[in-house]
Amino acid sequence: MQRPRAQELVATALALGVLAAVWGAMVWRPSDTVRWLLAGGAVVGAAVLALWGLLGPVARWLSGEHAELTPAERRSLTAAERVEAVNQSRSALMQSVTGLVVIVGVAFTAAGLIYTARTLDISRQAQVTDRYTKAIEQLGSGRPEVRMGGIYALERLMADSSRDRPTIIEVLAAYIRSHAQDRPPAGSDRTRLAVDVESALTVLGRAQLHLGTVDLRDADLHGKNLSGVKLSIAKLSGANLTGADVTHADLAHADLTGAKLSGADLRGAYLSGAKLFGADLTHTDLRGADLRASMGAPTPKQLRMVARTDASTRF
């Protein structure tokens, strides 16, 4: 049995080293730095193996030489042939080194670009966190204009960070539920919402086009002016809208299960596909409202007995 030659042993050891480095980078993952070093080492090792194969066995096979020269054949070479063989070996070695340098350079350049991109992403996330924290602090201010600034800062943050959008929507919805009955600006109609709550509703109305459901369950908005508000797909189950002005509001597909709508003005409101199971519609003005495809609503005949409707009400 022929003993393996030194170069074959080195190639085998290098191949095992590459496999170990790949395993370490993909499975072990002790730290990001070590992982990138292992990945880089695997790339370099694979490049060395590829160059050895191309310049050794593959080159001999393409030239028609299927076996290396024996010692006797080497001794039979002339001086000129020996010099030529040495020069060709040097040329092949230089080409190998040059190719290896290029491959290593490309590998580490790629790793540097990836590391830079990850660093920039971490920095951006840190900035987003800082902006979010400052905006939340503004919501706790005693000055309404500062709270408004925090609300619009959160809206800007929603546009910049899709990952934080659901959280911001929940924060704004909770803010509205907590401050729905805050006093409006001095001298304003008492039915008007506080300016910061009004701003939060406006932001949610714009954001829901991208985020869907807004949770305003059990919100106390009785007697408030919600004219033209956009809360389609919103959760308003159990909400108190008694006597509220909800004219021309967009409540399509909103969940109004168990909502208190007694005496509310819903003229021209868009309620198509809304859930009205158990909603109190006593004395509600539904003239011009769109109730088509709504679920759980009383029949037109029953509605006419408890609410105000006319020919413009669409069922």
| Backbone phi, psi, residue 78, to 5° | -80, 170
Across the range 84-105, mean pLDDT stands at 71
| Backbone phi, psi, residue 188, to 5° | -85, 165
Q: What is the pLDDT of the chain when averaged over all its residues?
A: 82
Question: Angle at CA 92, nearest 5°, toward 9 and 5?
Answer: 20
φ/ψ bin of 282: left (φ > 0), alpha (ψ from -120 to 50), beta (otherwise): beta
Torsion angle in degrees (nearest 10) through CA of 53, 59, 61, 63:
180
Looking at the DSSP assignment, which residues form a beta bridge with residue 260? 240, 280
Secondary structure class of 59 (helix, strand, coil): helix
Transcribe 162-206 into DSSP letters. GGGHHHHHHHHHHHHHHHTT---STTS-TTSPPHHHHHHHHHHHH
Q: How many CA atoms lie within 13 A of 162 on its CB side?
A: 2
Q: How confident is the model at residue 55 (pLDDT cuts 50, 70, 90)?
A: low
Between 107 and 293, the more confident residue is 293
pLDDT at 104: 72
For residue 1, pLDDT beyond 50:
no
Residue 299: Cβ within 10 Å count: 9
Q: How far is the C-alpha of 48 from the C-alpha of 57, rounded, in Å? A: 14
Per DSSP, helices labelled H in the chain are 6-23, 32-53, 59-62, 71-75, 79-139, 144-160, 165-179, 195-211, 300-306
Across the range 222-230, mean pLDDT stands at 93
Please write the tens of the pLDDT for every residue from 228-263: 998 888 999 999 999 999 999 999 999 999 999 999
- Distance, C-alpha 17 to centroid of its chain: 38
Cα-Cα end-to-end distance for the chain: 93
Helix 79-139 vs helix 144-160: angle between axes, to the nearest 10 degrees?
Answer: 150
Across the range 136-162, mean pLDDT stands at 91
Q: How far is the C-alpha of 183 from the C-alpha of 185, rounded, in Å? A: 7
For residue 208, pLDDT beyond 70:
no
Q: What is the pTM (predicted TM-score) of this model?
A: 0.67
Q: How far is the C-alpha of 69 from the C-alpha of 105, rounded, in Å? A: 35
Q: How far is the C-alpha of 93 from the C-alpha of 2, rounded, in Å? A: 27
Q: How confident is the model at residue 309 (pLDDT cuts 50, 70, 90)?
A: very high
Q: How confident is the model at residue 212 (pLDDT cuts 50, 70, 90)?
A: low
Percent of the chain whose predicted confidence (pLDDT) is above 90: 40
Q: How far is the C-alpha of 311 from the C-alpha of 202, rounded, in Å? A: 31
Between 284 and 117, the more confident residue is 284
Sequence letter at residue 132? Y
Q: How far is the C-alpha of 90 from the C-alpha of 108, rounded, in Å? A: 27
